[in-house]
Chain A
């Protein structure tokens, strides 16, 4: 596996698309082991697409694309401005609130970061915000999106780690609100020093708030319906993706009356490449993970970690620090697929809760999308905002620290994650 891992990093450095880098380096393992049937890579790749839980992922991507053309995004933007209008930092506060609320219909941090940069980025610069600061918060705020149910990372973690997706969804809500709070406070502090004013200074005209809330209610209702539906057994985790698409389409066609057959078709067409990019990565990673299991890598790494410290909190912090560091070079999807099956057993051996660990792990892994030198969400926002990576990095440091602070808090107080899933689904 050492050669396989090395090959993976070498291929990545020379610019090989990550999906192929995983598949090709994973296939090297089979060249080293002539005793293994050479059909296994093909079987593993195909079997990923026969996984009921993963079925939800392409459909979430489609739902997110449809949301942008169904009037949901625009209404949430109006609501986000109303909610955060009096806070220092103006549009920087708006983008945080919008990310949190979009999380209910979209599950992808990268898509959310890109969309918001297009919607809000230009206006932030026109209001004299520093480019690095604006770009960094447009990116980092999207960390909240996949933590609010439904999220692709949670589906993936649930599938690799055999953890209930419903419980993970419920477990994400409080951490998402904490991230919102942490980012909002960070923006306020920076805005006070640099003199970024609030969006408005006077009270809203009567009726404005109610109007904005009515507009956003359909999107806000979705995660609630989703959790209640899962709790009540109305649908199963493999059906949530289809349910999300149907819901977003119904809101766009029937409630907002903004979507047409044509724009719906365009939204689907636009999501095809994203579906392909994510699913090819997931499918080919099955070749790679075969070697991880066969060489008993989890056991080896587990003994190394437990040799350092025996306390659950210590082990978790150690693992998360490792994930953050690897996250500088690798993105969330890859981190979850490759590292979750290695680290989850370690934590469970020490009686750690898989849902609690899942949520903190997903947050730490998702940060990898935003950290230089390699981060898909970072690339997206920097390209759209025409921001050099160095400037972005300086702007991002406070938000990175804020996110890490939330992770440490969640590790110290597991009940913050667990009380909601426990209340909804029982212990």
Chain B
């Protein structure tokens, strides 16, 4: 299970990085082509498709590495037990929200399969929409790991930041 998890993280990191680099290359290619008076329309379209996927993959990476900004000003002053209860309450709300995004996103991708992406008849817009439910699913997994770490207080100090790298 742990090896699978680690491989998954590597795949996610590499995919996100490659998508970002692809965005740079595609946008530059489009710019150069336009400069040479042979405009390529598909480059920017492909770049925004990569943008959607990169956004939600990176969102999961940020969530896992604890890079999402939060306000812990009040939290830190509360007793430890209450802190943990609030943390679990937050996780619960996040799980509900992500499940909503996952289900609705999947449903929307399925229902609007006929909608074409930027007028390209053979590419469905659902390829873009799918990035959100997939990203939500990944973040659900990440949240699951965070919850599990909280529920096993004996390990959570040791695992703490190490697991986030």
A134-142, A242-250, A347-355, A403-411 - the one binding chain B: A242-250
Q: Are B129 and A46 in contact (CB-based, < 8 A)?
A: yes
Q: Are B107 and A39 in contact (CB-based, < 8 A)?
A: yes
Report chain A residues within 8 Å CB of B101.
41-42, 45
Task: Mark B20-40 against chain A: 1 for CB-CB distance below 8 A, else 0.
Answer: 110111011011000100000
* CB proximity of A371 to chain B, nearest CB, Å: 13
Q: Are A235 and B31 in contact (CB-based, < 8 A)?
A: yes
The residue of chain A having its C-beta at the shortest distance from the C-beta of B66 within the complex is A273
Q: Are A238 and B28 in contact (CB-based, < 8 A)?
A: no
Known: A238-B27, A276-B63. A52 touches B44 (CB 8 A): yes
Report chain A residues within 8 Å CB of B140.
none
Q: Are B55 and A268 in contact (CB-based, < 8 A)?
A: no
* CB proximity of A59 to chain B, nearest CB, Å: 6
Report chain B residues within 8 Å CB of A276.
16, 55, 57-63, 67
Task: Mark A315-339 against chain B: 1 for CB-CB distance below 8 A, else 0.
Answer: 0000000000000000100000000
A36-50 with Cβ < 8 A to chain B: 38-39, 41-43, 45-46, 49-50
Complex CA gap A39/B112 in Å reads 11
Q: Are A15 and B71 in contact (CB-based, < 8 A)?
A: yes
A19-27, A121-129, A192-200, A360-368 - the one binding chain B: A19-27
Q: How many A-B residue pairs have CB under 8 A?
A: 185
Complex CA gap A207/B20 in Å reads 41
Report chain A residues within 8 Å CB of B27.
55, 59, 238-239, 241-242
Whether A269 is near chain B, meaning CB under 8 Å from some CB there, is yes
Report chain B residues within 8 Å CB of A275.
16, 20, 54-55, 58, 62
Chain A interface helix/strand/loop/mixed = helix
Q: Are B23 and A272 in contact (CB-based, < 8 A)?
A: no
Q: Are A43 and B108 in contact (CB-based, < 8 A)?
A: yes
* CB proximity of B113 to chain A, nearest CB, Å: 14
Whether B90 is near chain A, meaning CB under 8 Å from some CB there, is yes
Q: Are B90 and A14 in contact (CB-based, < 8 A)?
A: yes
Chain A contact patch, size range:
35 or more
Report chain B residues within 8 Å CB of A27.
97, 100
Complex CA gap A16/B71 in Å reads 7
Whether A234 is near chain B, meaning CB under 8 Å from some CB there, is yes
* CB proximity of A21 to chain B, nearest CB, Å: 8
Complex CA gap A113/B51 in Å reads 27
Report chain B residues within 8 Å CB of A273.
58, 61-62, 65, 67
Q: Are B48 and A55 in contact (CB-based, < 8 A)?
A: yes
Whether A374 is near chain B, meaning CB under 8 Å from some CB there, is yes
Complex CA gap A15/B100 in Å reads 21
Report chain B residues within 8 Å CB of A23.
97
Complex CA gap A55/B39 in Å reads 19
Known: A14-B90, A20-B94. A274 touches B23 (CB 8 A): no
Complex CA gap A423/B73 in Å reads 46
Whether B145 is near chain A, meaning CB under 8 Å from some CB there, is no
Whether A13 is near chain B, meaning CB under 8 Å from some CB there, is yes
Known: A18-B68, A58-B58, A239-B27. A46 touches B104 (CB 8 A): no
Report chain A residues within 8 Å CB of B75.
14-15
Complex CA gap A195/B63 in Å reads 45
Whether B150 is near chain A, meaning CB under 8 Å from some CB there, is no
B71-106 with Cβ < 8 A to chain A: 71-75, 86-87, 89-90, 93-94, 97, 100-101, 104-105
Q: Are A38 and B104 in contact (CB-based, < 8 A)?
A: yes
The residue of chain B having its C-beta at the shortest distance from the C-beta of A40 within the complex is B104
Complex CA gap A314/B9 in Å reads 53
- Name the contact of A58 in the complex, choosing from B35, B55, B69, B89 (C-beta under 8 A): B55
- Name the contact of B104 in the complex, choosing from A42, A236, A277 (C-beta under 8 A): A42
* CB proximity of B108 to chain A, nearest CB, Å: 5
Task: Mark A208-231 against chain B: 1 for CB-CB distance below 8 A, else 0.
Answer: 000000000000000000000000
* CB proximity of A332 to chain B, nearest CB, Å: 11
Report chain B residues within 8 Å CB of A235.
31
Known: A17-B70, A41-B101, A272-B61. A55 touches B132 (CB 8 A): no
**Max chain A CB contacts within 10 Å: which of B13, B68, B100?**
B68
Known: A24-B97, A39-B107, A49-B131. A19 touches B68 (CB 8 A): yes
Complex CA gap A50/B128 in Å reads 9
* CB proximity of A71 to chain B, nearest CB, Å: 20
Complex CA gap A191/B24 in Å reads 45
Q: Are B86 and A14 in contact (CB-based, < 8 A)?
A: yes
Q: Are B90 and A16 in contact (CB-based, < 8 A)?
A: yes
Report chain B residues within 8 Å CB of A58.
20, 23, 51, 54-55, 58
The 5 closest A-B pairs by CB, nearest first: A276-B58, A276-B62, A242-B27, A17-B68, A280-B59
Question: Which residues of A are in contact with B by a Cβ distance under 8 Å?
Answer: 11-20, 23-24, 27, 38-39, 41-43, 45-46, 49-52, 54-55, 58-59, 62, 234-236, 238-239, 241-243, 245-246, 265, 268-269, 271-277, 279-281, 283, 331, 373-374, 376
Q: List 5 A-B contacts (CB under 8 A).
A: A20-B93, A42-B108, A46-B105, A274-B67, A283-B59
